Amino acid sequence: IQEVQQRLALKFDLEEKWLDSRLQFYNLKPDQEMNTLVYEEKNMIWIPRILFSNTKNDLTSERDEKSFAKVVRNMNFNGSLIGPEVSEDILVYEGRLNEIKINRVYEVEFICTYDMIYYPFDIQTCTLDMVIHGNTAKFINLLPGMLKYTGGSDFAQYYVMDYDIYNSKIKDKMGVKVSLRLGRRL
């Protein structure tokens, strides 16, 4: 927490999940850990890019060696065999029914305007503002998922009072905000 610089530095694990009807997956296993995509496979598919809009340089989510992608097999649907022209038994799973999931840990400094008018009895609310990057937002919706806070609750000057995740309009686009309320130790 840097009040003078108007910054809040956070380390977080962002998980994105989506369906892509253009894809087919072969021989998916029931255990999603066995359906991990290697780096070359990650580069072959479309991955939604998320813009962290309240950062100094408008940082975005990344597809790199630090990101971990896998396919989650839908257990309600079985795969279908490829036609007789193929000599192997290959089960095909449709992308519209089987979710792609990608995780990556980020360390980002967010801009947070600290209101010091009630100092030392102030309560600060900082947000992480996320929207879909580029014109892709016309075709997909960014929805809030599960928020799990695992960090400490007490800091030098503040403590974490509350946190939440919700849909919000951000720079004329629908996006997701994560709010963090900080109370000052008296």
Q: Mean pLDDT per 10-residue run, the chain (186 residues)?
A: 84 94 92 93 92 93 92 83 62 92 95 80 88 86 91 80 93 91 82
- Give the pLDDT score at 81: 67
Can you give the pLDDT at residue 73? 94
Close Cβ partners of 170 (under 8 Å, ≥ 6 residues apart): 53, 129, 130, 131, 177
94's torsion region: left (phi>0), alpha (psi -120 to 50) or beta? beta
pTM: 0.84
Radius of gyration of the chain (CA): 21
Euclidean distance between CA atoms 179 and 137, whole angstroms: 22
Tell me, what's the pLDDT at 183? 86
CA–CA gap between residue 116 and residue 121 (Å, rounded): 9
Which tokens belong to 93?
């799973």
The pLDDT value recorded for residue 86 is 53
Say how many C-beta atoms besides its own lie within 10 A of residue 71's C-beta. 22
H helices of the chain, in order, are 39-44
Q: Exposure string (b/e) for 137-171, b if CB count within 10 Å is 16 or more?
A: beeeebeeeeeeeeeeeeeeebeeeebebeebebe
Q: Is 136 helix (H, G, I), strand (E, B) or coil?
A: helix
Tokens of 48: 């939604």
pLDDT at 100: 96
